[in-house]
Structure 1
């Protein structure tokens, strides 16, 4: 299977299946000297692990990470960093009947069409548990960004059509409620709606917003590897994400040029912008203002409500999916969005280090 590697200069390769022995990731390109321990990784993994509330899958997994290589005496060595998380609570029997039919909204049919074979236990490689490797690697990328004074945070902007009120924005609340929403009142409304949908055997989707602060200008390539294009690819590589927009996004199509353009202005001796409709990216490169984008997350496809489908014998059948599933994906996907954002930014920052000859000469203390 190709396509399990992401990045150019800061590269990761994830591996493992939902109901296999373990999942993990190999990170290549991390500089030596970064302070790193398993607790740094675990903090992020704890935010995506299952079983944290009735609104996530009841599957109980500690998701404890072990660093196998690339770290010595608490610092990275510059060699590949390998990390593993062992599966401890597989119940593959829950999925045995899935082998005979195609679940709506899943990759069952496309896996069969491509490979002529599929691992039906929880979705195998297409399971959301694949994101364990992304989050583990993202924790390293976040530490690198932190050393550069760059921070980022994501949160649920909307779930089940219920949106936050920016007048009541409270980022701390997003870390304290089950829905990662920075608006307590909106979170309470989502709780009532989600409870109703659980009782009906249905699921809901939502929108995750991410904000990057402290980004230096000039990061990203002007043609195929644009910063916004790279972020779009990163977000759409997350299994449940079906849409991406940056800045004003689709709303920009309704504006005039005079409305959408961000006027430049000097403030405190620094070039800045009056507005940020561009979302912090111009011509595929960061412009120094906050990067703001959103990812649309579909409802969880595994639902107990009766659905129509087709079995492998070509017969029309009705199904009610059994097993342990998230009634919504958004809360656990927030940290995955942060991880993929960090991985993308670090990769492009490292690529940018060879963009100018004077920068290379200065690094090696050689005159131009």
Structure 2
């Protein structure tokens, strides 16, 4: 299967299926000398794992990561880092009635059309469980970026019709919806209760902020930083749209409204700064040194117990009600996945950009 790898220098390959023995990732290109252990990766997986609240699937997975290679005496060695997370709570029998039926909103039909078969037990490689490997790998990228003073903050911006109206970062980890607005989190909980009562599900948006990103990362043509970010985040199964900066709002703006005026860096800095940040930290495909702001629109969970119309593999009409353990909303768990894919993209862009200038090459290699 092609398409399971991403990145040029900081390159990640994920592997495993929802109901297989394990899932994981291999990270190649991570510089030697980064402090790394299972304990440093685990907090990221804990944010993604199931069973955190009544609004997530009750599949009980500890999601404990094991580092199999690439680390010696607590430091990365520069060789491939293999990460393994075992599956312990698969209920494959829950999917028996789906063996010959295409679930609406799922990858079943497309996967079958491409490969001539599909793993109906939770979706196989198309399952959201595949993102476990992304998060483990992304944690390494986050730790690498922290060494450079770059910080990522991902959170739930909206669930259904409920949007945050304030931002208090301290609130993000205080509610299971990962919203930086306590009042919005309460309203979103009521919305989800109604969805569950109606045997339905909800979508929403995740926002990720990146501070400390230096200017100059990214390429000006096909490998634009925003293009690479969009590809990485759109590769998350449930994401249907990506916005950077003002996003789709630019279509209704004028040039005078949308442009970000440049200002002197100030008395203590020679750096250029911007008076506003409609561009979201990226101009011409290259980071401009201001905060990178990304939003991902996440669709409603397609596995709902309400009766839906579908067909079997032989084309017969079927009324389908999906049972088992499914999330009424995946937005809160998707926040750390968006953060991981953002971190992987930025880490790769920074490493690729090191060869853009001769003086950088001389600084490393000239003796």
Q: TM-score, normalised by structure 1?
A: 0.98
Superposition map of 1:100-179 within 5 A: 100-166=100-166, 169-179=167-177
Superposition map of 1:344-363 within 5 A: 344-363=345-364
Deviates more, 1:342-351 or 1:354-363: 354-363
Q: Deviations over 1:87-130 (max 9, x none)?
A: 00011000011111100000111111001101110011000000
Q: Deviations over 1:152-198 (max 9, x none)?
A: 111111111110013xx111211110111100000000101101111
Equivalents in 2 of 1:41, 1:359: separation in Å? 31
Measured after TM superposition, the shift of residue 72 of structure 1 is: 0.7
Residue equivalent to 1:9: 9
Measured after TM superposition, the shift of residue 218 of structure 1 is: 0.6
Q: Does 1:194 align with 2:195?
A: no
Measured after TM superposition, the shift of residue 364 of structure 1 is: 2.2
Equivalents in 1 of 2:54, 2:171: separation in Å? 18
Equivalents in 1 of 2:12, 2:294: separation in Å? 23
Superposition map of 1:1-368 within 5 A: 1-166=1-166, 169-268=167-266, 269=269, 270-366=271-367
In structure 2, runs of 5+ residues without a counterpart are: none
Equivalents in 2 of 1:267, 1:351: separation in Å? 27
Equivalents in 2 of 1:16, 1:94: separation in Å? 20
Q: Deviations over 1:293-312 (max 9, x none)?
A: 11000000000011111112
Equivalents in 2 of 1:84, 1:293: separation in Å? 29
Equivalents in 1 of 2:230, 2:314: separation in Å? 38
Q: Deviations over 1:327-356 (max 9, x none)?
A: 101000000001000000000000000000
User: What SS does the corresponding residue of 1:344 show, helix, strand or coil?
Assistant: helix
**What root-mean-square deviation, in Å, do the aligned CA atoms of Structure 1 and Structure 2 show?**
0.8
Equivalents in 2 of 1:312, 1:249: separation in Å? 39
Equivalents in 1 of 2:191, 2:257: separation in Å? 36
Equivalents in 1 of 2:265, 2:362: separation in Å? 31
User: What SS does the corresponding residue of 2:153 show, helix, strand or coil?
Assistant: strand
Equivalents in 1 of 2:103, 2:25: separation in Å? 28
User: What SS does the corresponding residue of 2:52 show, helix, strand or coil?
Assistant: coil
Equivalents in 2 of 1:274, 1:363: separation in Å? 36
Equivalents in 2 of 1:364, 1:353: separation in Å? 12
User: What SS does the corresponding residue of 2:264 show, helix, strand or coil?
Assistant: strand
> Aligned pairs, how many?
364
Q: TM-score, normalised by structure 2?
A: 0.98
Equivalents in 2 of 1:160, 1:259: separation in Å? 29
Measured after TM superposition, the shift of residue 267 of structure 1 is: 3.2
Equivalents in 1 of 2:102, 2:192: separation in Å? 26
Equivalents in 2 of 1:247, 1:314: separation in Å? 44
Measured after TM superposition, the shift of residue 316 of structure 1 is: 1.1
User: What SS does the corresponding residue of 1:100 show, helix, strand or coil?
Assistant: coil
